[in-house]
Structure formats: C-alpha cells, structure tokens
Chain A
Amino acid sequence: MTVRELVDSGAVKAAALPDGDREIEGVYIGDLLSWVMGRAGSGDAWITIMSNVNIAAVATLADTACIILAEGVQPDDGVTEIAREKNINLLLSDRSAYDTAVWLHERL
C-alpha cells in the first residue's frame, strides 16, 4: 500500500503528503527517538506520539515511508511545513498507536 492509498482509505488524515507514492513496507511504533532511529526500517510507517520537529530528522535518517501521529496528537507549530519541505509524509490518526498498527497490519 502506498502512503496516498492509506490516506485515501480515510483511516488517517494527511498533514503533509509530499511523497504519496512511497510504498509502506512495514510498521514501527516508538517514541524514544534514538531507539526509533536505530530500529525503524526503511519503508516503515512510523507510529509515534512525539510531535516535535526532531521527528523530521529521525524520519529522514531512518528513511521511513511516513510518520503517523497517533492518539489524536497534533504536530507542534511549524512541523508540518518542515515535513513538506523535507519530503516527509506526515499523517494524523485518531486511533491509538496499537489500533493504528493493527489496522495497517490487516491491509499490508
């Protein structure tokens, strides 16, 4: 599934979708950035509740397919603009991290 297909499904909203054709190959959940950076795989949908600007750098370095802010968390001021600028897909989910992951698992 591509990131755009995920958005079109209605399960998540797009805050920034500069690279919608990116394929989602897996899922990673984590909030500790050092941990995520080392362990999230390239092409993963990264589910987190961290909303500060450092998630953009971590997503870039780990080469994730998208960031999904779960639990209804909104990005901090300016983060959406940075995501767009850095070609990072930033999505918003009202579901819990677990439910978002389960939803994805059933469709990947």
Chain B
Amino acid sequence: MSDVLTFRFDVDGENFTSAGQASVQIKKNLRQLGLPPEIIRRVSIAMYEGEINMVIHAGGGNAEVRVAEDFIEIELVDHGPGIADIEQAMQAGFSTAPDNIRSLGFGAGMGLPNMKRYTDSMDIQSKVGDGTRIVMRVDLTA
C-alpha cells in the first residue's frame, strides 16, 4: 500500500453549473497514468454522479481518489443533510431532487444506482443532520 497515489478535490456546492470539474480532472489524471479506458470511464462516471449529488443535496464536499496497484478507491465526504433511508435512496427512480435540478436533466433517481453499477463495491455511511460518506472501489485486476 506504500505506492498509493492520491488525488484530492474540493467540490464547490455553490455552483451547479461547474459541477463535474473534479470528475473531468480525474479522468485526465487516470488517462495520464495509462489506465484502461473502460476503467477510467467507470471511475469518472461514478465520481460525477457523486459529485452532482454533493452539489444538489449537500452544498458540496470533498472527494479523494486513491489509485493503488489492484484497485481505485473513490471516497466522497459531505456534511449535508444525510440520507434517512439508504435502501430507499438506492432504488432507481427514487429522488428528492427539486424541480429546478430536474429541469437540468438530473434528479431522476439514478445517481446512487449508477454509482453502484459502475463500481465493484460501494459503502454508504450516512447520519441525518451530520453528512454522508461514500467509498467506492473499482478493481484493477481482471
């Protein structure tokens, strides 16, 4: 674990229009590392969904991407309202996003399901009123 490469990002919660900057940046970074395109696609999509969630629901947060030999780990931490019922939030189509977000093409209740779909493992810890921490992992071994 000594040679883990770590990228850190602040996700700005004020500016919905710039959401995605961290994911686009991590895509570039992973490409520079010469990782397979499909891995890069999965990591950056999962991260983008997480980033959008933090902007919509939590007023921003922090993202950290750790690239190890066998896996890439994405950790997203926010101090937003938390998720009352994680099982419900994981259901495709369940959303608490406001109408103005829906009109932008988001808020269809696909964020968390997509994050799970594009990663090999996903762990959500959330406390109402305190915030949410999500750790996702994409395996690099076949």
Residues in chain A within 8 A of chain B (CB atoms):
31-35, 37-38, 42, 50, 52-58, 60-63, 86
- Bound together, the chains give a CA A62 to CA B108 distance in angstroms of 18
Check if B37 sits within 8 Å of A52, measured CB to CB. Answer: no
Check if B20 sits within 8 Å of A31, measured CB to CB. Answer: no
- Bound together, the chains give a CA A57 to CA B17 distance in angstroms of 10
Residues in chain B within 8 A of chain A (CB atoms):
16-21, 23-24, 27, 37, 41, 44-45, 48-49, 52, 104-106, 108, 110-111, 114, 117-118
CB closest chain-A residue, reference B47: A61
CB closest chain-A residue, reference B23: A61
Check if A54 sits within 8 Å of B105, measured CB to CB. Answer: yes
CB closest chain-A residue, reference B49: A34
Given the known inter-chain contacts A38-B114, A54-B17, please indicate yes or no for A32 contacting B24, CB distance below 8 A.
no
CB closest chain-B residue, reference A49: B105
CB closest chain-B residue, reference A63: B41
From DSSP, what is the main secondary structure of chain A's interface residues? Answer: helix
Identify which of B37, B106, B110 contacts A54 (C-beta below 8 A): B106
In the assembled complex, which residues on chain B have CB atoms less than 8 Å from the CB atom of A62? 41, 45
* Contacts A/B (CB < 8 Å), 27 sampled: A32-B105, A32-B110, A34-B49, A34-B111, A38-B45, A38-B110, A38-B118, A42-B37, A42-B41, A50-B104, A52-B105, A53-B17, A54-B17, A54-B20, A54-B105, A54-B106, A55-B105, A57-B21, A57-B24, A57-B48, A58-B20, A60-B24, A60-B27, A61-B24, A61-B27, A61-B44, A86-B24
